[in-house]
Structure 1
């Protein structure tokens, strides 16, 4: 742990939250510059979260403290990981700019994976690979990472990726001759400390941006181990090698589709037969059919029953009840059940779906309602 001192000016109790407030703090706040915050201890209390608000630093603690001066400790392993992820982000953002002239418009660091948003609705696979390769070349080159405090006029001459709108001196992070950008966060001293940068996923956001998910350092190694274990486990389950895993999965999916299509046809035929032999319950002027069974067979029962005059079909699933009819407004049925039984669900004119584990009270109440329709 990195040791230091801190003065707590006020301690606030907000429900179960204990918040220690100070004007200055050695703890870096969560979310500042897209970065994760520090963790550690203040006196005997563990720091769970750190926020910056209205010029004050808020420390969320797991134990109560009185205002005063305290020894504090900052978790160095977490700070090292944060520095690793943040420098990796600078390298990856610069790599996309050099490879495809794609700019990073935002950055977010997560506990497991981090993201950058690029100013393009999609990024080609070969561009992703080229940027990743270039980023890892910079890592292997062990470039020096310099933190410079310079005047804004001098910063304007350094060809920064983005010049911040600040007064006075600018904090600049310089990664060899590869990248120069303004930043207030933590960084490694040498790119070799990162070890590896790996893009793990992408997605389109806001219709005009591409979000790049990445990991670096020990996180990347952990991610590789987890995926390697998963592949080996799948290989054992599917009795094939990892090289043949995709082909094996595709073959199995094709088999499942064929069998599913056959089951669908059989279920439809069974539902047709069941509809011919099933005996309805006469309730008022309506004929109530009540079924419980597999989803496949119940899927087709309304097809063969709903058009029969004054027929109502009730389908009992493990987690829901369906009421289907072409002869009564199911919306009115649902509203009455909702008012009288406080059930949840939704409805249309010809179908109502009710969230329920048992149909007994629904059927009983439905009988009462139908007698008055």
Structure 2
């Protein structure tokens, strides 16, 4: 159930216009509009005398929701005031407003941010590794940990210890502290501000200066699951999920695993072995196919050479195809010129464009790149190569056989 916060209940508390610090579970509140404005891009905004909307900061995205039914699309602190950017301006006469937080988004950010505190503290305890960067994204969360390498064993140990802290349902005390109190706390890191310092405390585990929103117990964080890691700028970047995100990820992967076991008619325990066998079979079939393709090309090249000789054109093999790839033409050209060092191969294929491959045997002097250069203007084409083989393509505005006839005529000049 939404809880309603009325102005004035928190007089005398530091930063008492920021209701998310007074009651993190607050979802609905009332406030007065003290300023209206329009950003440079035309976006309307309002400033309130108090707000439960958390502004972007400290690695945590802002809250969204509504003010008087108008969508709040972004919240940011600018020059000491919290601007609530709106989908549309509020009516001019509106002074007293009701704000509603998108609670699912807020609670998700609380779970992920507090999970980060727990996981970062765990890596300090297990490996004396500080977190040097933190990003709370829409899909996953990352921390950059000051480690040169990371083992699966350390990952498993850290994940288990972090979840043990969650299961113990320890209290979380997030509060502003005095300078005297600050000196007595074993801080995880030093604060980045010099006044209104707020510390998030998980007793006997983590004492972290932080301005973000956090639940009241570690149990609300839910499961913490590390889903990957990689080297990044001399550190290790760890990807993880907490709470409802972790559960959604587990559900998605479970459905995927069930689909795979059903398609492969095997059990979860045997699916890895089954996949390894399938991959091995695929590689064997690929090798066999490549061998057969080589044999077919050898036979095809021999047939073209024989037909050319029978026609009295032993010096040139000319052939056009439809739908054949450039790579296939290049391989056929190599096979032809390897079988007969005195032959010239003029090959073409038509797909969505006309592509050409010209090649010569080792005993032929004619430069194929020059021949291609003089042929491509027929099809407004581009290409390149070397004296032994050249390739290019252009618009199929001229029939392939006509283009090859033109090239052959250039050879005979």
Match of 2:334 among 285, 296, 303: 303
Q: Retained in 2: the 8 A contact 1:170–1:182?
A: yes
Counterpart check, 1:202 vs 2:229: yes
Q: Specify the SS of the correspondent of 2:43.
A: strand
- Which residue of structure 2 lines up, in the alignment, with residue 266 of structure 1? 292
Moved more, 259-268 or 68-77: 68-77
**Residue of structure 2 aligned with 1:21, choices 45, 55, 71:** 45
Q: Kindly provide the CA deviation profile for residues 293-340 of structure 1, in whole angstroms up to 9, marking residues without a partner as x.
A: 47985573242247776545445568x87654454449x869x78x95
- Check whether the contact 1:268–1:297 (CA below 8 A) recurs between aligned residues: no
Structure 1 residue 226 and structure 2 residue 252: aligned? yes
Q: Deviations over 1:159-205 (max 9, x none)?
A: 21110232223111001211111111011100011221111111222
**C-alpha separation between the residues in 1 aligned to 2:195 and 2:266?**
63
* SS of equivalent residue, structure 2 residue 58: helix
The corresponding residue for 2:261 is 235
In structure 2, the residue matched to 1:292 is 323
Match of 2:205 in 1: 178
Q: What is the CA–CA distance in structure 1 between the aligned matches of 2:354 and 2:188, rounded to whole Å?
A: 59
User: Which has a greater percent of strand?
Assistant: 1
Distance in 2 (alpha carbons) for counterparts of 1:76 and 1:200: 25
Select which of 347, 357, 360 maps to 2:396: 360
1:36 to 47, 57, 61: 61
In 1, Cα distance between equivalents of 2:141 and 2:186? 26
Aligned pairs for 1:105-184 within 5 A: 105-152=132-179, 154-184=181-211
Bigger CA radius of gyration: 2
Q: What are the ranges of 5 or more consecutive residues in structure 1 without an aligned counterpart?
A: none
| Residues 1:135 and 1:290: Cα distance change in structure 2 (over 3 Å) | same
After superposition, the Cα gap between the structure-2 partners of 1:298 and 1:76, relative to the gap in structure 1 and judged at 3 Å, is same
Which deviates further from its counterpart, 159-168 or 1-10? 1-10
- CA–CA distance in structure 2, aligned partners of residues 165 and 247 of structure 1: 52
Aligned to 1:247: 273
Give 1:60 shift: 5.0
- Superposed displacement of residue 151, structure 1: 3.0
Give the corresponding residue for 2:127.
Answer: 100
**Is contact 2:44–2:87 with CA below 8 Å preserved after alignment?**
no
Give me the whole-angstrom Cα distance separating, in 2, the residues matched to 1:353 and 1:65.
62
Give me the whole-angstrom Cα distance separating, in 1, the residues matched to 2:398 and 2:270. 51
Task: Please give the alpha-carbon distance, in whole angstroms, between the structure 2 residues aligned to 1:66 and 1:102.
Answer: 52
Structure 1 residues 299 and 47: CA distance shift in structure 2, 3 A: farther
Rate the CA distance shift 1:302–1:57 in 2: closer, same or farther, 3 A.
farther
Moved more, 4-13 or 134-143: 4-13
Work out whether residues 174 and 181 of structure 1, in 8 Å CA contact, stay in contact via their aligned partners in 2.
yes
Task: Check the 8 A contact 1:83/1:188 in 2, yes or no.
Answer: yes
2 CA distance for matches of 1:227 and 1:13? 44
Q: Which runs of 5+ in 2 are unaligned?
A: 3-26, 360-366
Which residue in 2 is equivalent to 1:190? 217
Q: Give, in whole Å, the separation in 2 of the partners of 1:246 and 1:362.
A: 53
Give 3-state SS (helix, strand or coil) of 1:192's partner: helix
**What's the secondary structure of 1:240's corresponding residue?**
coil
Q: Name the CA distance, whole Å, in 2 between partners of 1:185 and 1:78.
A: 14
**TM-score, with structure 2 as normaliser:** 0.73
User: After superposition, what is the alpha-carbon deviation per residue over 1:123-152, rounded to whole angstroms, capped at 9, x for unaligned?
Assistant: 100000000010001001111100121134
**TM-score, length-scaled by structure 1:** 0.80
